[in-house]
Structure formats: structure tokens, C-alpha cells
Amino acid sequence: MRVVQKYGGSSVATPEKIRVVAERVAKRAKDAQVVVVVSAMGDTTDDLIALAKEINPRPAAREMDKLMASGEQISSALLTMALQNLGCDAISFTGAQAGIITEKVATKARIKKVDTKRLKEELRAGKVVVVAGFQGITDNTIWADITTLGRGGSDTTAVALAAALNSEEEPCICEIFSDVEGVYTADPRIVPDAKKLETISYEEMLEMATEGANIMHNRAVELGWVYDVEILVAHSQKDVPGTIIKKEEKDMELKNPVKGIAHDSDVLKISVCGIPDQIGIAGKIFKALTDKKISVDIIVQNVSVNGKADISFTIAEADEDKALDIINPLAEEMGASSVIVNKDVAKVSIIGSGMETQPGYAANMFQALAEEGINILSITTSEIRITCLIEEGKIKDAVRVLHKTFELEK
Amino acid sequence: MRVVQKYGGSSVATPEKIRVVAERVAKRAKDAQVVVVVSAMGDTTDDLIALAKEINPRPAAREMDKLMASGEQISSALLTMALQNLGCDAISFTGAQAGIITEKVATKARIKKVDTKRLKEELRAGKVVVVAGFQGITDNTIWADITTLGRGGSDTTAVALAAALNSEEEPCICEIFSDVEGVYTADPRIVPDAKKLETISYEEMLEMATEGANIMHNRAVELGWVYDVEILVAHSQKDVPGTIIKKEEKDMELKNPVKGIAHDSDVLKISVCGIPDQIGIAGKIFKALTDKKISVDIIVQNVSVNGKADISFTIAEADEDKALDIINPLAEEMGASSVIVNKDVAKVSIIGSGMETQPGYAANMFQALAEEGINILSITTSEIRITCLIEEGKIKDAVRVLHKTFELEK
């Protein structure tokens, strides 16, 4: 049995916390071959960025990667020392030593392949291998550049290593530890009787994550999906069961098709009003936004009687300035009458793989919200998700009523 | 023209200091291909050691190497960013990227070879290459372990790179920058009219260094000697000429054969008295000391009338406890009558390659000290050095009178 465990920066922020993680790892190593992926200690990454900016306001991406990668190099060596101090045979690996070969793209490289030669050797020799997360190298020579994997990088390292180590003879699972206990049917702070899910499918997890369940990065979930790696998400300090992300099981459909309620208040709605109705207007706006890597959601286009169109869409609140820098000149150029920003909105979603084959969930959702006196501003759906945009002040009520409507507390 | 410059940790201790170094490097890069070797910023190495000891009182050497190497990885990336900020095209290298292959010995690896493939490519592309000093890897694969070179490691990196880059067609020199201006005929704090030497031979430099001239590490001087690399030692902030260490020139002999006066007060004398005179006693003592890496100097053995012997020798004061832990039980075992420690001693030396072919220097030295009322406790000589052990309180007088006697102020 093989397992790849991942601990985030807050789990290894101090020598004391590193010792706690070492104890958990040493325990796991008693009945499995263990690879541990670590992030940099606590604020290390932010401190290094600040140092770089003090020296050069626009540091080259390649140099940033080398600078940042040192953070995980340090935490991996320290965790290894902590394991050795417990009498657990361990060895630390850089991204290079773990054989993680990436694209030649600094700060957000994608993994091309994993050469597990030495990783397997050390595991077979009975060692716990502690891998510096978030990093790789651009080819398999000593002259290769060090790259970092960008957002969700350490999660991605963990899932990629599990995928590379996974085989029929020696199955390998992945365990992602953070400060949450698992995936819940809804945010337990809003719905006190929300239940922790035992399992969830990759697809459902992706929908939960984009809707705000801040547990692990989508990119890593997608990688797990593609390579069929079972991923446990669990709490780094507490010894309680977490949630396993895995392939959808057929008999899931027989149970409740709605798996959970997700919500996201960190959204705002932008409306571009009174645009002369021409073909390609919407395309122009959304291409400009996605070119700047701004994710757009819940798009509604209305054509009014006099041949003028209104386009509305939601974006993350953090992207407001960036988006308006693009939208305002575009709106002027198009002859739009106004650009209206509404921050008083939030999204609530019901998620479940079973929904696609069983009708009626949308109707139930809309009716439940209506009975609670919650007005639906717009709607968007995917095969396994139905999302309503509502007034921000009503979001908690919405989550609670939907949780109850779909009997998720049972 | 190629040059390898080395800047120590105090020269890159802060962003401001890194900027100053970047300006010097950028200036040098206008008329030469420049490689820069940097140490870790200021106290980084000590901080990392403290962090490691907090986690594991006896951290594994391999993990310490990986931890320490991150310090130079950080400073090399930051100096590169500072150079780029000045519009100077630069790139940072780890020890691996610089092709520094070492023995598989953690914390004090020796360099086996330097594969300059990428180094030469980047130099030819017009870039300044900033190399993380003090580190290498154990073989030329991505799975290789990171090693550190131990004491004087960054100096050694610099000289090794200069040696590897040096050729008839493209000569390469090495420039070591620190907080001293060069090599003096004597310590200027003791002899105000001491002169900075324009040149010194490798051999003389080695003698100066062991005698306390704390400018660069002997190991790097020896490497320069073997590969015939010209080494400039100069001040990292001041724009004044330093001292060039190079092959002895024949016409040096025509000038003053005494090159400088060295002194060392950080010594103590241990006497083991009343040892029954047997063959191998001295060997036994000195083998035990060198096994523990304690350097022994100025050994004197007297056989007294009744067949009992006294053995005296000097060691560095820092080694006192370690040495006595070895000597005391040995003395008892041998039936010695007493072990006497005398801290009130110091060494003064005259150094010069020319001395070996011209007699009379020893006599002049002893006479000068005698006329000053300085008692000589013991004497040791090499081909290019004569050293006297004297009372510690007289050391400044001794340095001054010898500087004057051999007319070094001229």
C-alpha cells in the first residue's frame, strides 16, 4: 500500500507544528509506503516575494521560481529531520529529485511527466520520502531550470506523484491535509446540521470547489479525475475521518441525487446596458475578459424592443478593477448607455451527479427559494449543478432552506 | 576576458547591499564575461542551523546540506534580480546548473569536476551568470543529492569555476571580495606603516593565511595554485587596488625575500611532562589529536637526564577542551607526571619564498627579537616561513620590530 500525503504551509508553519506532522506521518508509515508533499512554512513565500520586490519591482519570472522553490526545499528538509528525530527513516527530495518534469513556463508550469526512478528506490528501501511541493524542473538534465507550478501547486504535486506511483500491483492513494475536516453538504457555519460527506465524485468536487468550498485546488482534482487517483481530504491535526474524492459509484444514484449546497458571496454582477444589438458583441466582451484570465459566470443577455441589448454577468469581487478597466472603454466604443456594478449579489448552488438523469430538481430549487421570499436574479446550470444568483443578504437563508428541501441533514 | 567574482555573506546581507554589489558587477560586465559567486545573505546560514537544531538536535548531514544550500539559492536569485533591475542581462545558477559535481560526502564535499556546458552558453549569450556558492551535486543526473563544500566553500566554488573557464584563448581570473583591502606586510592595526602587497605567491599566501591573515580560505588558495588561477583579493565596497595571488615570479627574489610578518595570538601551549621515554609516545599523542581534526604546531620534545621526556606543542585556543579530553587520559595511561596548559603564548612569523635560497634570515629574526627583550620559547620553520613562539604580551612589539628589521615599510 502506497500513500502520498500533502500538508499545506499552515500545517508546517513552526518547528512545533512540523513535529506534530512528523508524528502523523511516522504513524502512517507503519503500514504503508509514504510520500509526503509539503508546502513552504507559513509566510515564507510571502516573505520571499516581499524581499524580491524590494530589490526589483518586476522580478523576472525565472528568478522568482528559483527564489520561491527554496521555501519548499527548506520545509522538506526540516520535516525530514523531524521524522528522523522520531526514529523514522526518511529522506527529502527537491522537485528535481522527485523527477517532476514540467513545461518551460515560469511561475505556472504544468507537469509533463514524473520520473519516479529514485522515488521508488527509496520507498522500496523503506524510507519515507518528503518531497518539496509546488516545484519541478524543465528537463531531465542537471542544467534544467527550476519551475514552480502556480496556484494549487503542492496539491498538484501530491496528486501527480500518486498518479505516477499508482499501479494495479501497488495501488497508491492521495491524502490532502488542511484545516478543514472534509467536504460538507453545506457550510457548517450556516447550516449547523450539515453533514460531512464520506465520498464525493471528482465532478461534484469540482463544482463544490468553484462554488467556494476552499478545500483543494480544482487543478489537482481534475488531475486526480484524469488518472483515477483516490483523494482523501482531511484535517491535518484532528484524527477524524475526512471525505474521499473518487470515481462516481453507480449506486450513488439510488441515494440522494443532490450532494451538497454551495454558495459564494464573493461575486459581483456587471451589467452593460443599451448596447446596439450586433452580432459578436458578447463574444468581444468575454474574449477580452478571459484574455486577462478573469472568470465569467452566469451570463444573461436581453434584447430590448428598440434593438438595444443588455448583457449581465458575474465575476469574482477581487477582479472588479481589472474587469472594469476592460469593460468601460469597450462599452464606450460599442455605444452602450451605461455600465452598472452590483455587489449586493451572491450565488447559491445545488450539486449532484444524479441530477442530470432525474428531472425536477431545478423546479424544486426555484420553488423553495420563492417560498422563502428569495428573488432569483439569474440562473445558470451545468449537468450536475444548478446555480441561482440572489440578493447577498439572503444567502444564508437560501443555503438553509435548500439544505432542508433536499433533506441533506439525513 | 573572463572573470569570476565572489562576494561573501556580509556583502549581500541586505537588499541595499545587494544593490551595491549589483552596481559593481554591472560595471565589470561592460568589458568582461562575468560569473558571480555569492554566499548566503548575512546570518541566513546561522538562522537555518538554529531552525534545524530546534527540530532535531542531530540533523542528518544530507538534510543539512539541502537546507543550507537554499541560502545561496536565495541570494543568487536576488542578486540576479538586482542586476536585471540595472538593465544588466543576468541569470542565476544553482550548484547543479553550474555543473559542480562533488564527492558524495555531505557538509564538506570536495569538487570532482565542473561541467561548464550551460555556463559557457550563457556567458556567450552575453549574460552575467550568478552562481550559488558553497554547493554542488553528487552526480550529473536530476536525482543527484545536493552537497555543500564546507569551510571556505564559496571561495572554492569561485576558484573552481575560474579554473574550469580558464583557457589559453579565453583566460579567466578570480576576484574575491570581502571587507579587507588585500594582503599586508603585517597587520595594519599593529604596524601603521604596513604596506599592501601588490602580489603574493600562492605558497606565501598559504603561510599568511594559516598564521591568521583571515582573507580567504586556504583550500581555495591551494586550488588556485594547482590550476594556476590568478586570484585578486580586494574590498567589496571600496574602489582601491587589492592584492593579486599568483605564481611566484622569478624576479621576486631580487627584491626583499621577506614578504610579510604574520602573527597569531589565538594559540596555547600544552606540555605533557615526565613521560617515560619510549618509542612512539609522540606519535600516539599526535595521531589521537589529528584523528579529531585538531591541528598541532610547533612541537618540541626534550629528553631529560633520568630517561623521562617532556613534549610540548601548540594548538588553537578554540580546540583546548577537545584536546585536553584526549591528552589527559593519554597522559595518565603513559605515566606522565603532569599536563601543563599555557595560554600566555603567541606566534610571530616571517614569510617569504625568497628566504629558502638565502641564509641568514633566521639569525636576523632571532637577534631582532632578542634585542627587543623578547624571549623565544620555541621555533618552527617551513621552506618559506620561520615562526617563533613568544610570550603573548610581547606580540605587538615583536611584529613591529620584525617589520622594521626586514624593511617592509619600504
Q: What digits encode the pLDDT tens for the residues A114-136?
A: 999 999 999 999 999 999 999 99
Q: Is residue B265 located within the same domain as residue B391?
A: yes
Chain B contact present for A69, CB below 8 A: yes
Given A248, A278, A297, the domain boundary residue is A248
For the record, the C-alpha cell of A176 comes out as: 490532502
The confidence score (pLDDT) of residue B212 equals 47
Give residue A216's pLDDT: 87
**A127 and A187 together in one domain:** yes
CA A352 to chain centre: 18
Cα separations in angstroms, B289 against B100, B107, B153, B295, B320: 33, 21, 24, 7, 11
Contact between chains at A59 and B74 (C-beta distance less than 8 A)? no
Question: Quick check: is B230 in a domain?
Answer: no
Q: How far is A129 from chain B (nearest CA, A)?
A: 12
pLDDT exceeds 80 at position B316: yes
Give domain status of residue B122, yes or no: yes
Query: Does A75 share its domain with A192?
Result: yes
Number of domains in chain A: 2
**B186 found inside a domain:** no
**Which of A70, A94, A144 faces B74 most closely, judged by CB atoms?**
A70
Flag whether B384 is in a domain: yes
Q: What is the average per-residue pLDDT within B355-364?
A: 80
Q: Are residues A390 and A302 in the same domain?
A: yes
On chain A, the residues whose CB falls within 8 A of the CB of B144 are 97, 142
Predicted local confidence at residue A304, as pLDDT: 67
Confidence check: pLDDT of A213 > 90: no
Strand order in the sheet with A308-316: A297-303, A308-316, A260-276, A338-351, A385-391, A376-382
Which residues between 6 and 65 in chain A have a beta carbon less than 8 angstroms from any beta carbon of chain B? Answer: 15, 18-19, 48, 51-52, 54-57, 59-60, 62-64
Chain B residue with Cα closest to A140? B142
Rounded to the nearest 5°, which phi and psi values hold at B73? -60, -40
Determine whether the interchain pair B78/A51 forms a contact, defined as Cβ–Cβ distance below 8 Å.
yes
| A140: DSSP letter | S
Q: Is residue A253 part of a domain?
A: no
Domain range for B271 is 261-405
Residue A165, pLDDT > 90, answer yes
- Answer whether residue B242 is part of any domain: no
The rounded distance, in Å, linking the Cα atoms of A263 and B72 is 45
Residue B242 to residues A71, B207, B245: CA-CA distances in angstroms?
37, 18, 10
Considering the domain boundaries, does residue B290 fall inside one? Answer: yes
Do B286 and B380 belong to one domain?
yes
Phi and psi (nearest 5°) for A278? -125, 160
Q: What is the CATH number of the domain that holds B310?
A: 3.30.2130.10
Does one domain contain both B15 and B155? yes
Tell me: do B64 and B174 sit in the same domain.
yes
Whether B66 sits inside 8 A of A77 (CB atoms) is: yes
A157 and A274 assigned to the same domain: no
pTM above 0.90, yes or no: no
Q: Which of A196, A217, A248 is the last residue of a domain?
A: A248
Query: Are residues A36 and A7 in contact, defined by beta-carbon separation less than 8 angstroms?
Result: yes
Segments in A251-310 forming alpha helices (H): 281-291
Same domain, A179 and A275: no
Q: Which of A125, A169, A152, A173 is nearest to A3 (CA)?
A: A173
N- to C-terminal Cα distance for chain B? 34
Inside any domain, residue A221 = yes
* Banded pLDDT at A111 (limits 50, 70, 90): very high
Taking alpha carbons only, the member of B381, B9, B363, B409 closest to residue B211 is B381
Q: Choose among A55, A77, A146: nearest Cβ to B18.
A: A55
Q: Which residues pair with A33 in a beta bridge?
A: A2
Residue from A17, A81, A84 whose CB has the most chain B CBs within 10 Å, to mutate: A81
Please check whether residues B168 and B26 belong to one and the same domain. yes
Mean pLDDT score of chain A: 91
Same domain, B147 and B290: no
Q: Which of A390-399, B42-51, B118-127, B254-263 has the lowest mean pLDDT?
A: B254-263
Residue B232 is predicted with a pLDDT of 97
The percentage of residues in chain A with a pLDDT greater than 70, rounded to a whole number, is 96
The region of weakest confidence among B166-175, B210-219, B273-282 is B210-219
Residue pLDDT, tens place only, A353-368:
877 767 788 889 999 9
**pLDDT tens string B42-86:** 999 999 999 999 999 999 999 999 999 999 999 999 999 999 999
Looking at the structure, do residues A153 and A280 belong to the same domain, yes or no? no
* Chosen domain end from B134, B154, B178: B178
Provide the pairing of β-strand B385-391 with B376-382.
antiparallel
Provide the pLDDT for residue B14.
96
CATH code, domain carrying A202: 3.40.1160.10
Q: Is the dihedral of CA A317, A323, A325, A331 positive or negative?
A: negative
Q: Which of B21, B58, B74, B88 to mutate to test the interface with A (most CBs of A within 10 A)?
A: B74
% of residues, chain B, pLDDT over 90? 73
Question: Is residue B252 predicted with pLDDT exceeding 80?
Answer: no
pLDDT, tens digit (0-9, with 9 covering 90-100), for B317-332: 989 999 999 999 999 9
| Complex ipTM more than 0.95, yes or no | no
B204 within 8 A of B351, measured Cβ to Cβ: yes
pLDDT per position as a tens digit, A288-338: 898 888 888 888 877 766 778 888 999 999 899 999 999 999 999 888 999
